[in-house]
Amino acid sequence: MTEARQTAARRLPAPGRPVPVSTYRVQLGADMTLDDVAGRVPYLASLGVTHVYLSPVLTAAPGSTHGYDVVAHDEVSPVLGGLPALRRLADAAHGAGLGLVLDIVPNHMAVPTPVWHNTALWSVLADGPASPYAAWFDVDWSAGDGAVLMPVLGDRIGAVVARGEIELVEQDVPGHGTCTVLRYHDHVFPVREGTEALPLVELLERQHYRLAYWRVADEELNYRRFFDVGTLVAVRVEDPEVFDATHRLVLDLLADGTLDGLRIDHPDGLADPAGYLARLHEASGGAWVVVEKILEGEEDLPPDWATAGTTGYDALWRIQQTFVDPGGAAPLGALMHRLTGDASDDYAHVAEQAKREVVDGPLYAEVYRLTTLAASICADDLRLRDHTWRALHECLVELLVASERYRSYVVPGEQVHPDSVAALEHAATLARTRMSAERAATMDVLVDLLLGREVGSAGRTRGVRRDELVVRFQQTCGAVTAKGVEDTAYYRWTHLVGLCEVGGEPARFALTPTDLAAWAARQQVAAPLAMTTLSTHDTKRGEDTRNRLGVLSELPSEWAALVARVRAATASARSSRVDGRTEQWVWQTLAGTWTEAGPIPLDRLEPYLTKAMREAKSHTFWTAPDEAYEAAVLELARHALADPVVTGLFTEWEVRTRTAVRAATLGTKLVQLTLPGVPDVYQGSEMAEPTLVDPDNRRHVPLEPLVTRLARLDDGAGPRDLSDEKLLVTSRALRLRRSMPEAFVGPEAGYVPLPHSSGQTITYARTVADDPRVAVVATRLAASVDRLGGWADHTVGLPEGRWVDVLTGTEVDGGIVPVAPLLERLPVALLVREADA
């Protein structure tokens, strides 16, 4: 079997396994339990989805708002209703013809407060390497004097002990009875057997863990964590016993039909993602599985990964940027330069600087550990001994900063794919331009080590430390990219802030319909059952916010004029502390969230701006907030929303852009729901409601307004507003998919671009065995259409037959069809061949 055919086979579930036709993501929590979701099943069935997509359900740390901080893999969270509630939800869903998809977290567990909530971790802290759970966690027992670093103290330990803040007490510990423990405020830790009677200082030194000042974690941490989050400890699912223990419940739920598929959180953090997915495929009987994977640029999913595909960030940015006007790049770049000093081609430098700061700051401990590992390899080989710790450290830093992908996908002992070799060598070439020529030989050695090549003494390619270096470099590379780019540079780059999205490509300002069509055609062949999305619990902004921001590119001169007038009106309230980047951020955020109802409420705007400022890490930080700076920015925002001149200008802008926003809102949604793949509708995104980054995008979504709107539309009422129109498009597209799955996820489903005469249309057909069954027409860049006086004599070429628009009831014969009458009532059309309607 050829590699292409092997890869294609890995992208498909086993025969007979359920495949979602569409999903609807719900965020579970104390205000959205599993029984609450069961109560929403009738609405979701009416909406047209085939599967309910659940956020993590396993027991999480106390007070968790998201479920990604798991503490017990063998229990469905009691907060959510426990296993009985999950069974009730499954029964309700199955009774309505729906299935369930579950989000799971194999990479990490929580370090909760108190730690005893995580039974496995408590055991490791109590018994060290002798614990039956010692293999679960990625701890370097050779570092830190063989003690797990617990960086929880608010001050250096000497000061904390001197103040008597650490106490030896008797306390009831669930599952262990009354125990002697160490208590530091809300933190509770086990005491190593036999040390209870020692003086406190000696007792602390004899534990299997080391209590330390929280800042120590960035320099001396000896366990792998999730990115730079010390309260999330990595799990070694590459160990078969750990895999079995942490997946048993989920696999049982797949086996008994409670679940139909899985979404895998952050597989890049695993030691061997390909091995993990292969094991999961076998253990699950070939269930439908998608992975939260960021693909950079034109990067493809690794061919040896047994998965249907990604969770859809690759679709998100391409759809979004197809609805951005490339003509806006230069004017918006000029505006950015005037306010911030950043030039349009500075993005790469901004990202590089952010990655350097992350490597030198919150991820220093990981880079230090990598360097020490590489240095020990070289020190033990005479031929490599002169490559010093410092030289290796400099090369590792430059290589991590230059790497453009989350991983290089090298598995020790296996042949390295040419794409991985090329990606790593490309990064090394770039890194060398930033270093002295003296370091070139060390970089060569490092690249060879990271690719598992023979280097040093003859025949040396493998070894425990060499293999570990290969794996840890890739794990660190993903963390540097995520924290440096997505969580730092994306909050600094203001060309068009909506482009700074998870998995995005802000350096590519816009795409053409041809670009999107080429990607979609490849996707139909390479990963036809991957997920597509526009909004998730992790996106920096919801789709409706990005659509409003995208319109800035269509009217850049008018936007620049508005900004000038807003700046003049707010000059007296704009402190010298407020920098240009943050000011840009404020104005674009207001534009992205200003609706017919007015601006976003301050109780949502202010927390968002505070988070954005701290994520940018330019003037204020989570660990060291600059209160004066933050206050100046928030005061500017408050003043703007209280100033009638400013509110008048933004209200006029909302009216001016309403037509373009409508086209982008409905167009992006229809395209996402009909492109190759399995589309996900994030909770509440079936209506036009601008949202911002979490926790704003995870707010509770009331059910009754959705039910009322959909019922009114189903009774034949016309849409009253943009939310009604978006709900109409969403429900009709989802219902069409459900009634005609063979055209979207069937083995003979196809995608074919349709001819059109205007660059302002996106047109394609979904086919079954090359027979066109569904046609899509969407407007892009509606402001350009208005400037040109409408559609004039522009046309689209529909396949032969009689077609019915399921959104409006309009009927049309195939052939060369004028666009204007087709899009008279809505800026989009979803056409079904009459024989199939």
| Kind plus residue range of the DSSP H or E element containing 796 | strand 795-805
8 A C-beta contact, residue 110 and residue 231 = yes
- 482-515: b or e for each residue (b if 16 or more CB lie within 10 Å)? bbbbbbbbbbbbbbbbbbbbbbbbbebbbbebee
CA distance 432 to 391: 12
**Residue 264 lies inside a defined structural domain of this protein:** yes
**End-to-end Cα, the chain, rounded Å:** 40
8 A C-beta contact, residue 53 and residue 23 = yes
pLDDT for the residue 837: 65
CA distance 510 to 417: 31
pLDDT for the residue 737: 98
Q: What are phi and psi of 458, to 5 degrees?
A: -55, 135
**Residue 52 lies inside a defined structural domain of this protein:** yes
Which tokens is 310 given? 């990604």
221, 294: one domain: no
Q: What is the mean pLDDT of the chain?
A: 95
The angle, 0 to 180 degrees and rounded to 10, between the axes of the packed helices 364-379 and 389-402 is: 130
Which one-letter amino acid corresponds to residue 653?
Answer: W
Number of domains into which the chain is organized: 4
CA distance 175 to 629: 48
358, 478: one domain: yes
Cross-strand bridge partners of residue 183: 167, 188
Cross-strand bridge partners of residue 338: none
Query: Using CA of residue 533, residue 535, residue 539, residue 541, what is the dihedral sign?
Result: positive
CA distance 235 to 403: 25
Percentage of the chain lying above the pLDDT 70 cut = 99
- 622-635: b or e for each residue (b if 16 or more CB lie within 10 Å)? eeeeeeebbebbbe
The CATH number assigned to the domain holding 768 equals: 2.60.40
The vertex-416 CA angle with 12 and 282, nearest 5°, equals: 30
Q: Name the residue with tokens 């995008």.
A: 697
pLDDT for the residue 218: 85
Q: Residues 244-259: pLDDT tens digits?
A: 999 999 999 999 999 9
Domain-ending residue, one of 189, 208, 234: 234
The vertex-427 CA angle with 581 and 11, nearest 5°, equals: 95
DSSP label at 286?
Answer: S
pLDDT for the residue 554: 98
Q: How confident is the model at residue 286 (pLDDT cuts 50, 70, 90)?
A: very high
- Residue 642, classified by CB atoms within 10 Å of its CB into exposed (0-12), middle (13-18) or buried (19+), is exposed
The CATH number assigned to the domain holding 182 equals: 3.30.1590.10
pLDDT for the residue 146: 77
- Give me the domain span that covers residue 378: 350-486
pLDDT for the residue 835: 80
CA distance 762 to 512: 9
Cross-strand bridge partners of residue 830: 776
8 A C-beta contact, residue 822 and residue 777 = yes
Q: How confident is the model at residue 1 (pLDDT cuts 50, 70, 90)?
A: low
Closest of 55, 4, 3, 5 to residue 25, by C-alpha: 55
Q: Residues 110-163: pLDDT tens digits?
A: 999 999 999 999 999 999 999 999 999 988 877 656 799 999 999 999 999 999
**Residue 328 lies inside a defined structural domain of this protein:** no
Beta strands 177-184 and 70-76 are unpaired
pLDDT for the residue 808: 97
Query: Which one is predicted more confidently, 458 or 318?
Result: 318
219, 270: one domain: no
Domain-ending residue, one of 234, 257, 273: 234
Q: Name the residue with tokens 């069961």.
A: 38
8 A C-beta contact, residue 577 and residue 534 = no
Residues 6+ apart with CB under 8 A from 512: 322, 326, 759
8 A C-beta contact, residue 791 and residue 779 = no
Q: Residues 305-348: pLDDT tens digits?
A: 999 999 999 999 999 999 999 999 999 999 999 999 999 999 99
Residues 6+ apart with CB under 8 A from 789: none
45, 148: one domain: no
Which one-letter amino acid corresponds to residue 394?
Answer: E
Which of helix, strand or coil describes residue 755? Answer: coil
99, 18: one domain: yes
Asked if pLDDT for residue 622 goes beyond 90, the answer is yes
**Residue 591 lies inside a defined structural domain of this protein:** no
Q: What are phi and psi of 454, to 5 degrees?
A: -70, 125
CA distance 556 to 510: 14
CA 381 to chain centre: 41
CA distance 630 to 493: 19
State mean pLDDT over 437-463. 92
Asked if pLDDT for residue 457 goes beyond 90, the answer is no
165, 88: one domain: no
CA distance 117 to 60: 9
The vertex-585 CA angle with 583 and 588, nearest 5°, equals: 110
| Kind plus residue range of the DSSP H or E element containing 60 | strand 58-60
Residues 6+ apart with CB under 8 A from 511: 318, 321, 322, 324
379, 444: one domain: yes
Q: 695: cis peptide before it, omega within 30°?
A: yes
The CATH number assigned to the domain holding 245 equals: 3.20.20.80
**Residue 87 lies inside a defined structural domain of this protein:** yes
264, 193: one domain: no
Closest of 698, 726, 506 to residue 595, by C-alpha: 726
Detail the DSSP E strand segments found in 252-331: 261-264, 288-291, 309-310
CA distance 523 to 510: 20
3-state helix, strand, coil in the chain (%, to 5): 50, 15, 35
52, 193: one domain: no
Asked if pLDDT for residue 221 goes beyond 90, the answer is no
767, 832: one domain: yes
Q: What are phi and psi of 401, to 5 degrees?
A: -70, -35
- Residue 112, classified by CB atoms within 10 Å of its CB into exposed (0-12), middle (13-18) or buried (19+), is buried
pLDDT for the residue 143: 63
- Residue 458, classified by CB atoms within 10 Å of its CB into exposed (0-12), middle (13-18) or buried (19+), is exposed
Residues 6+ apart with CB under 8 A from 338: none
The pTM of the full predicted model, rounded to 2 decimals, is 0.96
DSSP label at 692?
Answer: B
**Residue 39 lies inside a defined structural domain of this protein:** yes
Asked if pLDDT for residue 697 goes beyond 80, the answer is yes
**Residue 707 lies inside a defined structural domain of this protein:** no
Query: Using CA of residue 209, residue 215, residue 218, residue 219, what is the dihedral sign?
Result: negative
pLDDT for the residue 229: 80
Domain-ending residue, one of 486, 506, 530: 486
Q: What are phi and psi of 744, to 5 degrees?
A: -120, -40
**Residue 205 lies inside a defined structural domain of this protein:** yes
pLDDT for the residue 139: 84
Q: What number of other Cβ atoms are within 10 A of residue 607's Cβ?
A: 15
CA distance 832 to 811: 10
C-alpha dist (Å) from residue 48 to 100, 446, 619, 727: 14, 53, 47, 11
461, 364: one domain: yes
CA distance 285 to 1: 22
| Kind plus residue range of the DSSP H or E element containing 179 | strand 177-184
143, 292: one domain: no
